[in-house]
Structure 1
Amino acid sequence: MSDEVLRLDAIGKTFNPGTQLESAVLRDINLRLGRGELTALIGPSGSGKSTLLNLIGLLDVPSSGELYLQGQPTRNSDDQTRTRLRNQALGFVFQFHHLVSAFSVLENVLMPLIIRDGRPSAETVELAHGLLREVGLDNLAAKKPTEISGGQQQRVAIARALITRPPLLLADEPTGNLDSKTADGVFELFRRINDQFGCSILVVTHDPRLAASCPRTVQLVDGRIVSDEKSAPAPS
């Protein structure tokens, strides 16, 4: 099996093509993510970060080029195939956690599997408890999201994203709604999950401190990748 989780070959995205409102948002994007990489995607507002994340998340389709997820080309895939790939290969964490307030913390973590498979099995429930333990929240499993802090809610969202054991986790400004101390804790959790579970993580962030702590940083400006840098490993 290839160690390449994601490959973008000459990806472009144009909105309203052939009209007066035509806008080329992404141009000739080439990117590879290997298994277990932790990468920050940075760039100014309007640079195309959200559009690129939507393409990688199979929520939209490129106008040109090809996007490979775990070696499978996706641009011409039908909706059923894209949905299956999204459910099997991707986890999502957003700036706003999107937890369901009517359900418990445990039920929120289980939600992707409940939607996919129906009533969760005892094994699945134990997996959810295990993930909550990993993010330090198993003692809050019965609480409602409104009964816990913002940082704890984001940790629940991370556990939910991991319940399907995705090879690639996409995080869109996951600490943008948190104070700096809580943000540091959440980002440290990303680093630990990356190390422990071996899943690739692509984090969109405006926080230069968080980006600097990632082993790899990709910068997007005006719809193009202008730098792709790996930091030197810390001395042992």
Structure 2
Amino acid sequence: MSESAQPSRSGADPASPVLRLDGLRKSYQVGTPLETEILHGISVTLARGEFTALVGPSGSGKTTMLNVIGLLDAPTGGELYLLGTPTRTLEDAERTALRGRSIGFVFQFHHLIQAFPVLDNVLMPALVQGARRTRELDAQGMALLDAVGLAAHAHKRPNELSGGQQQRVAIARALFTRPPLVLADEPTGNLDTRSADDVFVLLRRSNREFGCAVLVVTHDPRLAQRCDRILNLVDGNLVSDQPVVQAPT
């Protein structure tokens, strides 16, 4: 991978966890007769470079948990530390800034902007934060597209690519700001088996080469068993947190 595609050196303590949840709770319709608690005191830590699966039945709170971890929603109890920063009481602008520089997102549906070429989609996280479009920025985007095997498609529109290729663009986009944490919500759920395996392998390789922590929600036990660790969420409770016995090769 080229120098521009190497992990950033933010100056943060490499031994400190990327993410720590301390008694995290999340309720909706707070203060009303319909108040419902979805997450019930979740405590967990993710280390740098760790590749973790989040599994559980539908309705167990996985999406809520991912939204809170991704700073898209605020917890109603406990605390969430991202790179050592407590986030529960952050103002919206502070939360947005921290999310933008610290977290990359990969969704089941890639959410690429069809009106823009592939390269522009990869650059989007930097552009929306006010970065100037420069040759250096383009070169960084091209390095990531090369890393995911799509440099030749940089100037195509997303709808000219297959579903698997579009998801690989989404991964390149998630990695563009070199975030210490990548959240992937069913990233292979909309793909055929071969494309799903290609996308998972790419996420795994990116995790190893960039050193980012990855938390991936999946319903596929085969993929979960290829992670370092499996978190099992049931009815808003973390019922197990176990390492995978045999590490992926």
Equivalent of 2:122, from 104, 109, 112? Answer: 109
Whole-Å separation in 2 of the counterparts to 1:51 and 1:170: 13
Whole-Å separation in 2 of the counterparts to 1:206 and 1:152: 21
Letter in 2 for 1:219: N
Equivalent of 2:62, from 5, 25, 49? Answer: 49
Report deviation, 1:122. Answer: 1.2
Letter in 1 for 2:241: D
Quote the residue 2:3 is aligned against.
none
Instruction: Give the 5 Å matches for 1:136-175.
Output: 136-175=149-188
Equivalent of 1:8, from 21, 26, 51? Answer: 21
**What SS does structure 2 have at the residue aligned with 1:4?**
coil
Quote the residue 1:75 is aligned against.
88
Quote the residue 1:91 is aligned against.
104
Report deviation, 1:90. Answer: 0.3
Quote the residue 1:134 is aligned against.
147
- Structure 2 unmatched ranges of 5 or more: 1-12
CA offset digits 1:182-217 (Å, max 9, x no partner): 101100101100111100000001111111110100
Correspondence 1:207 to 2:220: yes
> TM-score, normalised to structure 2's length?
0.92
Equivalent of 1:20, from 30, 33, 45? Answer: 33
Whole-Å separation in 2 of the counterparts to 1:235 and 1:145: 31
**What SS does structure 2 have at the residue aligned with 1:232?**
coil
Q: Runs of 4+ in structure 1 displaced over 2 angstroms? A: 17-20, 232-236
Distance 1:56 1:103, change over 3 A: same
CA offset digits 1:70-102 (Å, max 9, x no partner): 000000011111111001100000000010111
**What SS does structure 1 have at the residue aligned with 2:129?**
helix
Number of equivalences: 236
Quote the residue 1:219 is aligned against.
232
Whole-Å separation in 2 of the counterparts to 1:191 and 1:204: 14
Identity of aligned residues (%): 59
Whole-Å separation in 1 of the counterparts to 2:189 and 2:153: 23
Contact 1:41 1:202 in 2 (8 A): yes
Quote the residue 2:10 is aligned against.
none
Whole-Å separation in 1 of the counterparts to 2:37 and 2:17: 28
- Structure 1 unmatched ranges of 5 or more: none
CA offset digits 1:11-43 (Å, max 9, x no partner): 011111232322110001001000000000000
Distance 1:197 1:20, change over 3 A: same
> TM-score, normalised to structure 1's length?
0.97
Contact 2:227 2:247 in 1 (8 A): no
